[in-house]
Amino acid sequence: AQSVTQLDSQVPVFEEAPVELRCNYSSSVSVYLFWYVQYPNQGLQLLLKYLSGSTLVKGINGFEAEFNKSQTSFHLRKPSVHISDTAEYFCAVSSVSGNTGKLIFGQGTTLQVKP
Amino acid sequence: KAGVTQTPRYLIKTRGQQVTLSCSPISGHRSVSWYQQTPGQGLQFLFEYFSETQRNKGNFPGRFSGRQFSNSRSEMNVSTLELGDSALYLCASSLAPPGTGTYEQYFGPGTRLTVT
């Protein structure tokens, strides 16, 4: 079984400041890792994903994440945030094996960017 | 290319009724998954379909069912609605078969179901 823990439910930050959203996971099997963003009244949009290879993954809108296998973490970072980054962010995992794309999500982190 | 479309976008039903939600995947996509999003439970997996076959099912009661048609469109049905079924129901589609490394899911805007 897999589980995902997002360590902060809310992260307030000022515009142009850096931000890190933390995600830890637990799994007995190898997993793919994802970060999704959800804007109000919209579905989820994929920011980035880790499948294999380089542990530093770059995504859209200037976001990046680093996979740390020993820490079982996949933290999301952005060096300078904008007001438009205000949204809910979800970390998710899916099993590498088992012929399923089922995503297990964390509880989400609300990023509030203040002017 | 059009994205994932879900109809209706909003729905109000009464306890005990049944409801059918529809999802049209991105053209060419053959995998469709459904998720329920609530403030208390977060995002939870409901079902996953590929080529009209249910590949995986989440931990939901039998009142929740789904199907996929030959054109990859999918529907989910909830019978005997309960207040706790009020949620945003999200559909996602993917080009690749489930579980492959290129399996990237594209989500629709969701159907917000309110049960009164």
**Predicted confidence band of residue B98 (pLDDT cuts 50, 70, 90):** confident
The pLDDT mean for chain B works out to: 94
CA distance B50 to chain A (A): 10
Residue B111 tokens read as: 């159907």
Question: Two tokens at A23?
Answer: 């995600």
Question: Does B5 lie at the interface with A, CB-CB under 8 angstroms?
Answer: no
Cα separation, B75 vs B19, whole angstroms: 10
For range A6-27, the mean pLDDT: 97
User: Which ranges constitute the DSSP H helices of A21-114?
Assistant: none
Q: Is the pLDDT of residue A80 over 70?
A: yes
Q: By the 8 A CB rule, do B98 and B55 touch?
A: yes
The nearest CA of chain A is from the CA of B114 a distance in Å of 15
The count of CB pairs under 8 A between chains A and B is: 66
Is the Cβ pair B104, A49 closer than 8 Å? yes
* Interstrand relation of B10-13 and B111-115 (parallel, antiparallel or unpaired): parallel
Q: Is the peptide bond before A79 cis (omega within 30 degrees of 0)?
A: no
- Please tell me the predicted confidence (pLDDT) of residue B101: 62
Query: Roughly how many angstroms between the first and final C-alpha of chain B, as a whole number?
Result: 37
Task: Give residue A97's pLDDT band: very low, low, confident or very high (50, 70, 90).
Answer: confident
| B104 neighbourhood in chain A, CB within 8 Å | 46, 49
**Residue B4, class by beta-carbon neighbours within 10 Å (0-12 exposed, 13-18 middle, 19+ buried)?**
buried
